[in-house]
Amino acid sequence: MMTTRVLSALLIFITTVFSTAFTLPVKAASVKASPGQASEQSVVIFSLDGFRWDYIEKHNAKNLASLAAQGVRAEYLEPVYPTKTFPNHLSIVTGLLPSNHGIVGNHFCDKDRNQCYKMGHGQDDSSWLKGIPLWNLAQMHGLKAATYFWPESDARFNGMTPSYFYHYSKHSDYQQRIDQIIQWLKLPEQTRPRFVAGYFSLVDTMGHDFGPDAQQTYEAVQKVDKLIGQLARRIQREVEQDVNLIIVSDHGMAQLDPELSLQLSDLGIDLSDFIVKNSGTQVWLGVVS
Ligand SMILES: [Zn+2]
C-alpha cells in the first residue's frame, strides 16, 4: 500500500463572549515521503458544530488532542458576526463575511426582496447565496468534490451542486457519514473527490440543550471524538492518496444565567407590530410595514 499522509489542523471558533483571537505555536506535522504523489492530495474538512475551543481538554477528547498534537492547532479564532451556525459555516467555506456571502443569520428577512430566509432555504432558492464555496472552487479547477452535509452544501451555488452530496437530515447516522467519506476517498482516481466536507451537529445540540458543562455535552464530545479518530485511522490504513484532514468548529457555547435572560413579553411592546426572527442569544425585531 502506498504511504498515506494525514495533516491535521484544529481550528476552533469561539463564542461571542470573547472576541480576541490568537493562534498557538505550530507543531510540525508528521509527514511520510510519497514520491511522485505530490499532486494526489485530497482535503477532508470536517465541522463539529458548537465545539467550544476548550472542549478537547474539558471533555477529554483524546483523538482530537492526538490529531492536534500531530498537526496545527489554533487555540481559538474570532467567529464572524452573528455567531450563528449558518453565517459562520458559509464564511468558513467561502472566505467571505456574512454581508458578502448573503447569509446574515440563521433566520432573517430582506426588505428589498420582501422575503425571509431560514436555514437550508438555499436548496429551494439559491439566489440567497453569494460567493464560491470550496467545493465549487475545486470543481471549477476540474476536480470532483463531495459533501456529507455542510450548511447549504445541497444548494446550487453558481449553478453547481457538489459532484456528490446528500440533502441534509439531522437524523442521518454518524457512522454512515464516516463510511461514505472513506468510500469516496477510495474511488478510482477519475471519480474520487479531491475535496470532501463533513458535518456533525450533536455537540451543538447538547450544548444548547444542557450547557457546555453538562454530562450530555461530555458524552457528545466523546462520541464525535471517537468517530473523528476512526476517520483519521481509516484514512491512514485504507486510503491510497495523501489526505489533509482539517477539523473546524463554527462557534463556542457559554453557560446561561436564567436570572439574566430577557423575555420578549417583558419589553412592553406589542409583538404583533413586529416580525420576530431568531431566539436565544439574538432576537431580531422587524417593524411590520
Ligand atoms: Zn453552530
φ, ψ of residue 185 to 5 degrees: the values are -70, -20
Q: Are the CB atoms for 199 and 225 separated by under 8 Å?
A: no
pLDDT tens digits, one per residue of 95-135:
999 999 999 999 999 989 999 999 999 999 999 999 999 99
Q: Report if residue 89 sits inside a domain.
A: yes
pLDDT tens digits, one per residue of 220-252:
999 999 999 999 999 999 999 999 999 999 999
Catalytic residues: 85
Structure confidence at residue 142 (pLDDT): 96
Domain of residue 52 covers: 6-255
Q: Report if residue 1 sits inside a domain.
A: no
Percent of the chain with pLDDT over 90: 70
Q: Report if residue 114 sits inside a domain.
A: yes
**Coil vs helix vs strand at 11:** strand
Query: Measured in angstroms, how far is the CA atom of residue 270 from the centroid of ligand 1?
Result: 31
φ, ψ of residue 285 to 5 degrees: the values are -110, 120
Write out the three cell numbers for 108. 432573517
Query: Measured in angstroms, how far is the CA atom of residue 28 from the centroid of ligand 1?
Result: 29
Query: Measured in angstroms, how far is the CA atom of residue 209 from the centroid of ligand 1?
Result: 13
Strands 72-73 and 107-110: unpaired
- Is residue 79 over pLDDT 80? yes
**Coil vs helix vs strand at 62:** helix
Q: Count CB neighbours of 245 within 10 A.
A: 24
Strands 284-287 and 274-277: antiparallel
Cell 413579553, residue? 265
Structure confidence at residue 10 (pLDDT): 45
Write out the three cell numbers for 232. 483519521
Tell me the mean pLDDT in the region 205-222.
97
Structure confidence at residue 121 (pLDDT): 94
Tell me the mean pLDDT in the region 87-94.
97
pLDDT tens digits, one per residue of 164-205:
999 999 899 999 999 999 999 999 999 999 999 999 999 999
Query: Measured in angstroms, how far is the CA atom of residue 263 from the centroid of ligand 1?
Result: 23
Q: Report if residue 278 sits inside a domain.
A: no
Structure confidence at residue 39 (pLDDT): 60
pLDDT tens digits, one per residue of 150-168:
999 999 999 999 999 999 9
Q: Which residues, in sequence order, are CB contacts of 127 under 8 Å at separation 6+?
A: none
Q: Report if residue 133 sits inside a domain.
A: yes
Q: Report if residue 125 sits inside a domain.
A: yes
Write out the three cell numbers for 208. 444548547
Instruction: Provide the mean pLDDT of the chain.
Output: 86
Query: Measured in angstroms, how far is the CA atom of residue 151 from the centroid of ligand 1?
Result: 10
Q: How far apart are CA 92 and CA 271, in angstroms?
A: 35
**Coil vs helix vs strand at 165:** strand
| Overall domain count for the chain | 1
Q: Are the CB atoms for 80 and 91 separated by under 8 Å?
A: yes
Model-level pTM? 0.86
Query: Measured in angstroms, how far is the CA atom of residue 88 from the centroid of ligand 1?
Result: 8
Q: Report if residue 274 sits inside a domain.
A: no
Q: Report if residue 289 sits inside a domain.
A: no
First to last CA, the chain: 66
Tell me the mean pLDDT in the region 21-40.
39
CATH number at residue 197: 3.40.720.10
Query: Measured in angstroms, how far is the CA atom of residue 50 from the centroid of ligand 1?
Result: 5
The pLDDT-based confidence of 29 (bands split at 50, 70, 90) is: very low
